C-alpha cells in the first residue's frame, strides 16, 4: 500500500508563543532601526508590524537621526514640521543646475544673448580644481545664458520652502584670457509661482584689463530669510570681451551651482559648543541686505 504524500498538521503547530518568550522591547527595536540605513528602514522595516511602522513614522525617530548625524536646521527658530522630509532633503543636497561645466556642450541652457561669434565651449587652458576641464566661452558682444529651476519638480514643495526657508547657495566660476580685456555678469533671482522676482542677487559687473594673469575666480552668494512664496530660481550669467576682437576672447564660465541647504552640520569636534556654519557656508551678504556685494575667491 502506497503512503500518501500529504503532511498531517495539528493545531498545536500554530500555538502562540508563551509568556516566557517576550517580544523585543521597543526601545531596543528603535536603537536597531537607528543603526540601519534610512532607506531600508522606510522600505522594509516599516512594513514589519504596526509598532515598527509607528516608530519609523514618528518625528522623534527622525529628529534623533538628525541629532546623531549632527544635522540641525540653519534657523533654530524654524524647527521642521516634518523631520523625515527635512532629513531626506538634507541628505540629497545637490547641484540643481544641469550641465554646469560644459560637458554636454550648451545642452540644458537657454541662450538669452549670443552676440559676436556666439557662445562656444572649449577645453580649459588651466583646469579648475583638477576635475573641471571644460568651460563656456563668450565673444565680442554680449553673451548671456540662463536656466530656470522649478523647485517643486526638484522635490522642494511649497510648504517646505515657506515653512523652512532653507538657505539657497549659488556659486559660479569665471576667468579671463591674459591677452584680452573682458567683463563678467551674473544675476540670480528667486521667483514666485508667477515667476515674478522676490529677491535678486545682481552685483556690479566684474571687469578685467588686458594682460592680466589668467586665473579662476569664484562668485558666491547665499539667500537667507527671503520669506514665503519662492517656487522658482532663475540663474543667468555671461559677459563679453571689451576689445571687440573676432573670435572667442571674452569671459569664460564653468562649474556653476545652485544648492538648497536646509541644515547646518554639527561635527563631533564642536559638540556641544557652538555649531559649525551652515552647509552652504559663504561670506557673501544675505538676500535681505541692500546692495549685496559679491564674494570672489581667485584660484591661481
User: pLDDT tens for residues 140-178?
Assistant: 999 999 999 999 999 899 999 998 889 999 999 999 988
Look at 130 and 271; give whichever has higher pLDDT: 130
- Mean pLDDT throughout 12-40? 69
DSSP state of 46: G
Domain regions of the chain by residue span? 110-299
Q: What angle do CA 20, 21, 22 make, to 5 degrees?
A: 105
User: pLDDT tens for residues 180-225?
Assistant: 999 999 999 999 999 999 999 999 999 999 998 778 999 999 999 9
**What is the model's pLDDT at position 299?**
45
31 pLDDT higher than 70 = yes
**DSSP per residue, 282-298:** -SSPPTTSSS---EEEE
108 pLDDT tier (thresholds 50, 70, 90): very high
**Closest C-alpha to 227, from 156, 135, 161, 142:** 161
Please tell us whether the domain made up of 110-299 is placed in CATH 2.60.120.260. yes
Scan for cell 517646505, then name that residue.
160
Calculate what percentage of the chain has a pLDDT beyond 90: 48
269 pLDDT higher than 80 = no
Residues ≥6 apart with Cβ < 8 Å to 105: 99, 121
C-alpha cell at 203: 552685483
User: pLDDT tens for residues 46-59?
Assistant: 888 888 888 888 88
Q: E-strand spans in 227-286?
A: 232-241, 252-261, 263-265
276 pLDDT higher than 80 = no
pTM of the full structure: 0.76
**What is the model's pLDDT at position 279?**
52
Scan for cell 504596526, then name that residue.
50
Look at 297 and 253; give whichever has higher pLDDT: 253
Q: How many CB atoms lie within 10 A of CB 295?
A: 16
Q: What is the mean pLDDT of the chain?
A: 82
**DSSP per residue, 114-182:** E-TT--EEEEEEEEETTTEEEEEE--SS-EEEEEEEETTTTT--HHHHHHH--EEEEEEEEE--TTS-E
SS3 content of the chain, % helix, strand, coil (to 5): 20, 30, 50
C-alpha cell at 162: 515657506
Asked whether the beta carbons of 84 and 108 are under 8 A apart, the reply is no
**What is the model's pLDDT at position 274?**
39
Amino acid at each position: 500500500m502506497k503512503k500518501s504524500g500529504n503532511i498531517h498538521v495539528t493545531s498545536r503547530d500554530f500555538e502562540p508563543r508563551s509568556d516566557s518568550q517576550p517580544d523585543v522591547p521597543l526601545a531596543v527595536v528603535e536603537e536597531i532601526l537607528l543603526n540601519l540605513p534610512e532607506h531600508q528602514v522606510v522600505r522594509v522595516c516599516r512594513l514589519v508590524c504596526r509598532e515598527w511602522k509607528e516608530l519609523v513614522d514618528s518625528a522623534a525617530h527622525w529628529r534623533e537621526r538628525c541629532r546623531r548625524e549632527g544635522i540641525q536646521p540653519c534657523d533654530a527658530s524654524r524647527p521642521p514640521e516634518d523631520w523625515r522630509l527635512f532629513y531626506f532633503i538634507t541628505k540629497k543636497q545637490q547641484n540643481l543646475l544641469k550641465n554646469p561645466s560644459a560637458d554636454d556642450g550648451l545642452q540644458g541652457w537657454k541662450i538669452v544673448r549670443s552676440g559676436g561669434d556666439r557662445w562656444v565651449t572649449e577645453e580649459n587652458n588651466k583646469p579648475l580644481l583638477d576635475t573641471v576641464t571644460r568651460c563656456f566661452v563668450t565673444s565680442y558682444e554680449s553673451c548671456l545664458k540662463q536656466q530656470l529651476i522649478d523647485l517643486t519638480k526638484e522635490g522642494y514643495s511649497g510648504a517646505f520652502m515657506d515653512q523652512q526657508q532653507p538657505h539657497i547657495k549659488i556659486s559660479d566660476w569665471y576667468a579671463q584670457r591674459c591677452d584680452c580685456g573682458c567683463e563678467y555678469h551674473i544675476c540670480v533671482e528667486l521667483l514666485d509661482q508667477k515667476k515674478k522676482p522676490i529677491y535678486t542677487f545682481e552685483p556690479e559687473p566684474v571687469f578685467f584689463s588686458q594682460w592680466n594673469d589668467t586665473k579662476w575666480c569664484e562668485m558666491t552668494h547665499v539667500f537667507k530669510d527671503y520669506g514665503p512664496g519662492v517656487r522658482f530660481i532663475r540663474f543667468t550669467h555671461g559677459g563679453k570681451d571689451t576689445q571687440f576682437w573676432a573670435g572667442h576672447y571674452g569671459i569664460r564660465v564653468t562649474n556653476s551651482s545652485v544648492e538648497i541647504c536646509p541644515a547646518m552640520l554639527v561635527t563631533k569636534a564642536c559638540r556641544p559648543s557652538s555649531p559649525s556654519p551652515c552647509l552652504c557656508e559663504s561670506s557673501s551678504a544675505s538676500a535681505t541686505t541692500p546692495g549685496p556685494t559679491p564674494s570672489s575667491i581667485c584660484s591661481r
